[in-house]
Amino acid sequence: MNESAGKKKKTAAIHLNQKWCKGCYICLEVCPKKVFEKSPDVSEKGFQPVLVAHPELCTGCLQCEMLCPDLAINVEKGE
């Protein structure tokens, strides 16, 4: 029998407001799955924001959302 049979994969949707991101990179440091990367672009305010580069790796731990000082990250946990 397949190991994944009967197990639902947990998913999470990450919503990032790049206009609010000031590039502190706390999310880069705290994410255990390395979901975020630095954007190659510079915002209109002069910050290099982050990107949600690997959303499929997100486990929904909420560390990024809880520690973002700009409230730029919202994680919706799913099943």
pLDDT digits (tens, 9 = 90+) for 30-67: 999 999 999 999 988 898 999 999 999 999 999 999 99
Residue 66 lies in a domain: yes
Find the CATH number of the domain harbouring 42.
Answer: 3.30.70.20
Q: Rounded CA gap, 79 and 74, in Å? A: 17
Indicate the number of domains in the chain: 1
Task: Tell if the pTM clears 0.85, that is, is over it.
Answer: no
Question: Can you read off the two tokens belonging to residue 44?
Answer: 């209109």
pLDDT digits (tens, 9 = 90+) for 1-39: 444 444 555 678 999 998 899 999 999 999 999 999 999
Residue 61 lies in a domain: yes
Residue 36 domain boundaries: 12-77
Map tokens 């705290």 to a residue: 30
Residue 3 lies in a domain: no
3-state secondary structure of 30: helix
Residue 6 lies in a domain: no
What end-to-end distance do the CA atoms of the chain give, in Å?
22
Residue 53 lies in a domain: yes
Residue 19 lies in a domain: yes
Specify the DSSP class assigned to residue 19. T
